[in-house]
Amino acid sequence: PQPNPQVGAAVKAADRAHVFHSWSAQELIDPLAVAGAEGSYFWDYDGNRYLDFSSGLVFTNIGYQHPKVVAAIQEQAATMTTFAPAFAVEARSEAARLIAERTPGDLDKIFFTNGGADAVEHALRMARLHTGRPKVLSAYRSYHGGTQQAVNVTGDPRRWASDTGTAGVVRFWAPFLYRSRFYAETEAQECERALEHLESTIAFEGPSTIAAIILETVPGTAGIMLPPEGYLSGVRALCDKYGIVFVLDEVMAGFGRTGTWFAADLYGVTPDLMTFAKGVNSGYVPLGGVAISGAIAETFAKRPYPGGLTYSGHPLACAAAVATLNVMAEEGIVEHAAKLGAEVIEPGLRELAERHPSVGEVRGTGMFWALDLVRDRATREPLVPYNAAGEANAPMAAFAAAAKKQGLWPFVNMNRTHVVPPLNITEAEAKEGLAALDAALSVADEHVA
């Protein structure tokens, strides 16, 4: 593509004048004007091209502009761009069927939303109505979305400013051996102690007051911490013991990210409700939803479900989901994610960790990896403090700038960079990205104590 700085300047000027951006101090940001994108790359108006190791916000699981999905959206637009939610519509029916076919266990009914946060809102509402109980337990080091209830169950600093109306939300620590809250030295200890902590939280909160426990199957933005073997099945058992609805949030981890259709498949666990969004249609058109178990669906078989939205199951979004899921199956994209993750990404990251003292831990699976960057490997002191901003965050800002200079767009959160490229990235692209990370980590190394 030809560079076109004048157009880029106009795009940027209108953005700065009129677009109010998420999670930002509006005058302290400098959004890049993007001219186009294809596959694993995007480019700006000045002729700079970036390999997208962030998949947008971890949603372009099949990369940008997949021709079959673009064609399906065009075809749906030509035949039925939109329709109200109360009708049976082909694209919606087929999307629900394909999703239900892939979700574990008896999660066979699909309630569609516009994205992840509203999926979480509805899942928690369903759990409260199903149990008749008021409280929800959620984990620190989690993210569940930006709407009021979703942000309140979130366990990261983004919720602090919205900590009003938090009635009924109780947080607990989920397992994370590298930064254990339980003084554990092994995954088995971490698992056992985290389950004991959760069960005593349930006991002290009152089991009969708890509607739901919500967890990201593999926490995403909070750091890609794979739960130890036995943790999720242990939570499942506690939910069964106390009549609590188990909600797994697969908005980020679902649809192939972990090298399996859902992260829950890694653990053989079936929740009662599962939220999804992002990868369901690679984010080409906004779509999310809740997959609902037979027992919870039964609660609303004769009694109306008191919730809905104008665009529930929007035909354009659902047609994109149908095409995405078919493309993922036809092209073996989930299997590719597992294989390339295990054979190229993981060994590549472990090799970088050997040479770069700023890398404290490499963790993940499939196309879902985190590098936990530290000032000191022995103490595990993070490269920047928790929730650092401004000068305190300079080492991570320098790392990100160095990556971009190398043509790599990184995902950065606090003291971590996440390697979360499109699932269909090629081996050559993956290696190109690892080489760019190598250079950027040398900048992070300068801040090691």
Tell me, what DSSP letter sits at residue 345?
A: I
Q: What is the DSSP string of 184-226?
A: -SSHHHHHHHHHHHHHHHHHHH-GGGEEEEEEESS-TTTT--P
Query: Rule CB under 6 A: is residue 115 a binding residue for ligand PLP?
Result: yes
Nearer Cβ to ligand PLP (274/328): 274
CB of 158 vs ligand PLP, minimal distance in Å: 10
Residues paired with residue 137 on neighbouring β-strands, in sequence order: 170, 213
Contact pattern from residue 143 through residue 182 relative to ligand PLP, giving x for each residue in contact according to CB under 6 A and a dash for the rest:
xxx-------------------------------------
CB of 115 vs ligand PLP, minimal distance in Å: 3
Query: Rule CB under 6 A: is residue 221 a binding residue for ligand PLP?
Result: yes
Query: Rule CB under 6 A: is residue 220 a binding residue for ligand PLP?
Result: yes
C-alpha–C-alpha distance, residues 429 and 185, integer Å: 37
- Find the binder of ligand PLP among 251, 291, 323, 402 (CB under 6 A): 251
The distance of Cα 34 from the centroid of its chain, to the nearest Å, equals 23
Contact pattern from residue 6 through residue 45 relative to ligand PLP, giving x for each residue in contact according to CB under 6 A and a dash for the rest:
----------------------------------------
The structure tokens listed for 256 are 């192939």
Tell me, what DSSP letter sits at residue 275?
A: E
CA dist list (Å): 214 to 182, 217, 236: 20, 9, 11
Which helix or strand (DSSP H or E) is residue 170 part of?
strand 169-172
Which helix or strand (DSSP H or E) is residue 41 part of?
strand 41-44
Residues paired with residue 215 on neighbouring β-strands, in sequence order: 248
The structure tokens listed for 251 are 């908005």
> Nearest to residue 110, comparing CAs of 266, 321, 253?
321
Radius of gyration of the chain (CA): 22
Nearer Cβ to ligand PLP (156/429): 156
Q: Which stretch in 11-19, 25-33, 111-119, 224-232 sits in contact with ligand PLP by CB under 6 A? A: 111-119
Interacting positions 262-281 with ligand PLP (CB under 6 A): 277
- CA 202-291-125 angle, to 5 degrees, is 50
Q: Which stretch in 4-12, 244-252, 339-347, 357-365 sits in contact with ligand PLP by CB under 6 A? A: 244-252
Nearer Cβ to ligand PLP (220/422): 220
Q: Which stretch in 216-224, 314-322, 376-384, 440-448 sits in contact with ligand PLP by CB under 6 A? A: 216-224
Nearer Cβ to ligand PLP (223/234): 223
> Nearest to residue 163, comparing CAs of 149, 174, 173?
149
Q: Which stretch in 84-92, 115-123, 125-133, 179-187 sits in contact with ligand PLP by CB under 6 A? A: 115-123
CB of 254 vs ligand PLP, minimal distance in Å: 9
Site for ligand PLP, rule CB under 6 A = 57, 115-117, 120, 143-145, 216, 220-221, 249, 251-252, 277, 288
